[in-house]
Structure 1
């Protein structure tokens, strides 16, 4: 009749995560993607140590998916300029190294990529904290001279 405690906890965690995503700033969303990639890489490391090849492959595939479909796809190369292009190259490198780690069962490569993920996450976290601590940007409107209820000049265009 009732679900198990585990299914209830999973449902709660899913709702909590979805709520967090909906309320998150763009910077926070990027940090969350890095968190997911790091978790997947950590799992791949443990599965490699335990010789669970199938689980290792799934974890590495998940990390690659987060990097390619989340982080890399979110780059705007037109607006981001050289930084976006550099990040794109770095994300490609990370995915290629993860593929190599999968093929060779190489823990050192997983450690290398986990370190890169941590560094990038830290940089985005610093950006997010800077945005939170800065004053909001407002339009230069003189409140004393602006009356939203006053009549405004209108133009009458007639054909």
Structure 2
């Protein structure tokens, strides 16, 4: 019962954060969501929980592909946007491979790459 209430509270809190966020803050929320999903996937991988690991990796890939990559402005961003698009694609592919092979190192590499970009976004503020 408490778990359901906690999930509902987290969802309302997230919806509030999103509705009040600036475009910059929305990007940070996307990064945080993807990083959290990768972190959870690693924990599930260690515990042998294949279904939850796959679910979290899918969530991270979806955030990267449908969130981060779709926000790139190739007209204004030029080479930076192109390079980020390639990096996001690489991270998504590596996440798939990490899932397929239960590769903790590959998962950590994806986390580190994405976290480096996220840190840069956080510093912009």
Judge same fold: TM > 0.5, yes or no.
Answer: yes
TM-score by length of 2: 0.94
Deviation track 1:39-94 (CA, whole Å, cap 9, x = no partner) reads 11111111111111111111111110010000001111122111111100000000
CA 1:42 to 1:11, structure 2 compared with 1: closer, same or farther past 3 Å? same
- Greater per-residue helix proportion: 2
Over the aligned positions, Cα root-mean-square deviation in angstroms equals 1.2
- C-alpha displacement at 1:5, in angstroms? 3.7
Equivalenced residue count is 125
| Aligned position for 2:53 | 56
**Alignment equivalent of 1:94, drawn from 91, 94, 117:** 91
| Aligned position for 2:69 | 72
TM-score by length of 1: 0.74
- C-alpha displacement at 1:7, in angstroms? 3.0
Structure label with greater radius of gyration: 1
Extract unaligned runs of 5+ from structure 1. Answer: 130-159
Extract unaligned runs of 5+ from structure 2. Answer: none
- C-alpha displacement at 1:99, in angstroms? 0.7
